Structure 1
Amino acid sequence: MSTTDRVAAGPAVDDPAVHAEVAAAFARYEAALVAGDQAVLNESFWASPDTVRFGIADHQQGIDELRAWRATQGPLDGRDTHDTRITTFGTDTAVVTTLFRYPGRPVVGRQSQTWVRMSVGWRIVSAHVSEIGSAST
């Protein structure tokens, strides 16, 4: 099935206005990661026991576990993202993927997030973070 067929059969994909909203929410989240802004990081996730985050060496199920884990984490100084891709589906759902690096580390991080528009704004409902050797990119 071609991209045109998928768009005609389902929700609008990559509406520019929706894409811009998600890009702004993602940029705010990334800035909070680098700064260690706990309030923005916690606010960025869906406040639900169904929220899931798979980290590099950790796993949180539910917003309470996520907030408790996040409280133990500091700023991510030097984090650099690249190859960020945002795909929106309709007006209320988006998937964001990005690669990231830290100065002096020979690995590449991968991050994927599912964002959903809630009554309070865009929130991450599911996230996954992993690392691979730099030769794999």
Structure 2
Amino acid sequence: MTIFLKFKNILNSGGTTMANKVSRYNNDQWETAKESVLQEYEDYKQTLRDQGVDYTIKNARKLLIYQDLVAEWEHKIGTVITDLEDNVFALSVFDDIKKRKQSTLLARGYEHISSWPDFNPTALALWLELEEDETMA
């Protein structure tokens, strides 16, 4: 189970049935949210490029978490909506856009996940995560 799915399971409580589900946001708003999250990821990757190899190595865990979180946003918009419309954390990106005009979703997700008491992936765990991502691609 990816980090995002674990995070998604933690944050979602209760639920709605398909019969009483009404989307709070339209497709254009979701598209804007998706673009904002993907831009946050691109900006982070640019920071890694600008800072160089040593910085990137020191921040490998953060990069892997960003990759897991952003993977949910890389699907077609219909899938993104279906997968994330009940996710309180994912929906918080709309507040980001309203207040800051950009996403901080990945950074906030990393902060939350890295505060978990069992968050201390070993080099082997990082390698296995990369291998899993590679085989799924």
**TM-score when scaled to structure 2?**
0.31
**TM-score when scaled to structure 1?**
0.31
Highest RCO, 1 vs 2 (Cα 8 Å, sep ≥ 6): 2
